[in-house]
Chains A and B, each alone.
Chain A
Amino acid sequence: EVQLVESGGGLVKPGGSLRLSCAASGFTFSSYSMNWVRQAPGKGLEWVSSISSCSSYIYYADSVKGRFTISRDNAKNSLYLQMDSLRAEDTAVYYCARVPVVGGTRGPMDVWGKGTTVTVSS
């Protein structure tokens, strides 16, 4: 079964750090790009960051650029999001999502994890 499982969420004070993980199973992780997407309480979806299959291409939303770092370990079938200098507005459910790439062209997010909750509060 194709599956993504996020972990690492929790309560952190403003200015603090947190590292999210996403464990992939049931597919060839190294063949896919991956995304992080977040959803603040009662709000819509916000794309956060993307990483290509070999980590050659990395992109960030302006709202997190310079504070968040996406990475992956294909040997461990894992995706990560290092979040530093956290702010109250980073409070959200964070989802990892799979992105197929066909012929060098990115596709939509076709598999999603259930999400992990990050709360930034003093």
Chain B
Amino acid sequence: EIVLTQSPGTLSLSPGERATLSCRASQSVSSSYLAWYQQKPGQAPRLLIYGASSRATGIPDRFSGSESGTDFTLTISRLEPEDFAVYYCQQYGGSPYTFGQGTKLEIK
């Protein structure tokens, strides 16, 4: 089973700042099958990034994803008020399709 470890647990930033969220996999993720989701309170998750770096339909270009080996990063270039939420990474290269524990992005 691939374990995904997200850091930090909580990130406190102000609107307009740059956010960098990390997701480290315990082993190689097949064909970069790594996705990022955003979840706001009381809502279902929303797909942001797939294939480690491809934006899903309708996702603003301030969201970007990258990878380096087993380290994956979600970057939000300039935070908007609506970006404060919980973010999860997930690998879908093979069962079990594990999630990271989440990073809460909160307003400073």
In contact, B92 and A114 (Cβ under 8 angstroms): no
In contact, B56 and A47 (Cβ under 8 angstroms): no
Q: Give the distance in Å from the alpha carbon of A109 to the alpha carbon of B31 in the complex.
A: 16
Tell me the chain A residues, 57-93 only, with Cβ under 8 Å from chain B: 59, 61-62
Q: Give the distance in Å from the alpha carbon of A47 to the alpha carbon of B93 in the complex.
A: 13
Asked if B46 is at the interface of the complex by the 8 Å CB criterion, the answer is: yes
Q: Give the distance in Å from the alpha carbon of A50 to the alpha carbon of B99 in the complex.
A: 14
In contact, B44 and A95 (Cβ under 8 angstroms): yes
In contact, A50 and B95 (Cβ under 8 angstroms): yes
B14 to chain A, nearest CB (A): 25
Asked if B98 is at the interface of the complex by the 8 Å CB criterion, the answer is: yes
In contact, A113 and B101 (Cβ under 8 angstroms): no
Q: In terms of DSSP, what is the predominant structure of the interface of chain B?
A: loop
Q: Give the distance in Å from the alpha carbon of A62 to the alpha carbon of B45 in the complex.
A: 23
Binary contact readout B72-90 vs A (1 if CB under 8 angstroms, 0 otherwise) = 0000000000000000101
In the complex, which range does the number of interface residues on chain A fall in?
20 to 34
Residues of B contacting A95 in the complex (Cβ-Cβ under 8 angstroms): 44-45
Q: Give the distance in Å from the alpha carbon of A46 to the alpha carbon of B56 in the complex.
A: 21
Tell me the chain A residues, 8-24 only, with Cβ under 8 Å from chain B: none
In contact, A108 and B99 (Cβ under 8 angstroms): no
Would you list 27 pairs from A and B whose C-beta atoms are within 8 A, ordered by A residue?
A: A35-B97, A44-B102, A45-B37, A45-B39, A45-B45, A45-B88, A45-B99, A46-B99, A47-B97, A50-B97, A59-B95, A59-B96, A62-B96, A99-B92, A106-B92, A107-B92, A108-B35, A108-B47, A108-B50, A108-B56, A108-B90, A109-B37, A109-B92, A110-B50, A112-B44, A114-B43, A115-B44
Chain B interface (Cβ < 8 Å from any Cβ of A): 31, 33, 35, 37, 39, 43-47, 50, 56-57, 88, 90, 92, 95-102
Chain A interface (Cβ < 8 Å from any Cβ of B): 35, 37, 44-47, 50, 59, 61-62, 95, 99, 105-110, 112-115
